[in-house]
Amino acid sequence: MWRATVLTIFPDMFPGPLGLSLAGRALASGLWSLDAVDIRNFATDRHRSVDDTPAGGGPGMVMKADVLARAIDAAAADHRPRLLMSPRGLPLTQARVVALSREDGAVFVCGRFEGVDERVIAARGLEEVSIGDYVLSGGEIAAMAVIDACVRLLPGVMGDQASGADESFADGLLEYPQYTRPQTFEGVPVPETLVSGDHAKVAAWRRAEAEKLTRERRPDLWAAYQARRDRRKKAPPDG
Ligand code: ADE
């Protein structure tokens, strides 16, 4: 079973949205497990402090290395990857999500305050992961995003496995536009090709639309896609 352990000072935030919908049903049926551990339980002083003022001065508070290390040692002393949710981390990609979903699970350390004492990051082998170039008030929502992305890839979680292979990023392109009934909405019809019944034409239309969207919205993904395509052309598998 894929096991998520979340270290947080707000364990009540979990399972939160992960208890509903696809992830929630999978959780209830035992396809994955979730353990939210309160870091504060590993504080030793009277006030149960988990943070202190930054060395060198400055604003905010820093999460203490000793308290966090004790929490990790008690709740996550195994070989699962340990992620520290942080805007400073490597940006999460679908490739990393796929790799994480093939592990036995993962440990998610949720930072708060100005950050985490650098020494515990090295001492406990924490991999810093960002979910985007913006700043959340803590790592909890970021951890939920990573867990959701992993859980939907676990065997048996998605009913229609094909919808996983076809979607955005699976082949480095954004997803093509979708339509359903009614045939005409506020005077706008469903594109003719999609109601033609010609499967080859539908596939070609979708590929062209996906390429157009990617070119317009994500020049970074488009450049990587073109580079892969060029490499395939230059070095075909049989030549
Ligand atoms: N914590 C605060 N902001 C974050 C971000 N963008 N990604 C991951 N963790 C965070």
Report pLDDT for 239: 45
pLDDT in tens, the chain (239 residues): 999 999 999 999 999 999 999 999 999 999 999 999 999 999 999 999 999 999 999 999 999 999 999 999 999 999 999 999 999 999 999 999 999 999 999 999 998 878 999 999 999 999 999 999 999 999 999 999 999 999 999 999 998 655 555 566 768 999 999 999 999 999 999 999 999 999 999 999 999 999 999 999 999 999 999 999 999 988 766 64
- CB contact at 8 A, 28 and 20: no
Question: Cα–chain-centroid distance for residue 193?
Answer: 34
Distance 157 CA to ligand 1 centre (A): 26
Q: HEC string of 198-214?
A: CHHHHHHHHHHHHHHHH
* Greatest extent of the chain over all pairs of C-alpha atoms, in Å: 72
E strand segments, the chain: 2-8, 32-38, 51-52, 62-63, 82-91, 105-110, 115-116, 127-130, 184-185, 188-189
CATH numbers and ranges of domains, the chain:
2-151 (3.40.1280.10), 167-234 (1.10.1270.20)
* pLDDT on residue 235: 76
> With a 6 A CB cut-off, is 115 part of the ligand 1 pocket?
no
The verdict on the CB of residue 61 being under 6 Å from ligand 1 is no
Contacts of 14 (CB under 8 A, 6+ apart): 6, 8, 34, 36, 140, 144
What is the distance between the alpha carbons of residues 81 and 127, in angstroms, rounded to a whole number? 8
Whether the Cβ atoms of residue 26 and residue 154 lie closer than 8 Å to each other: yes
State whether the beta carbon of 8 lies less than 6 angstroms from ligand 1. no
The total number of residues shown for the chain amounts to 239
d(CA 100, CA 103): 5
Does ligand 1 come within 6 angstroms of the Cβ of 214?
no
Sign for the CA dihedral angle at 154, 155, 159, 165 comes to: positive
Evaluate: CB of 142 within 6 angstroms of ligand 1.
yes
pLDDT tens for each residue of 54-79: 999 999 999 999 999 999 999 999 99
Tell whether pTM > 0.75: yes
- C-alpha 172 to ligand 1 mean position (Å): 24
With the most atoms of ligand 1 within 8 angstroms of its CB, the residue from 63, 116, 131 to mutate is: 131
Cα 206–chain centre separation: 26
pLDDT per residue as tens digits for the range 94-103: 999 999 999 9
Whether 31 contacts 2, CB under 8 Å:
yes
Q: Please work out whether the CB of residue 144 comes within 6 Å of at least one atom of ligand 1.
A: no
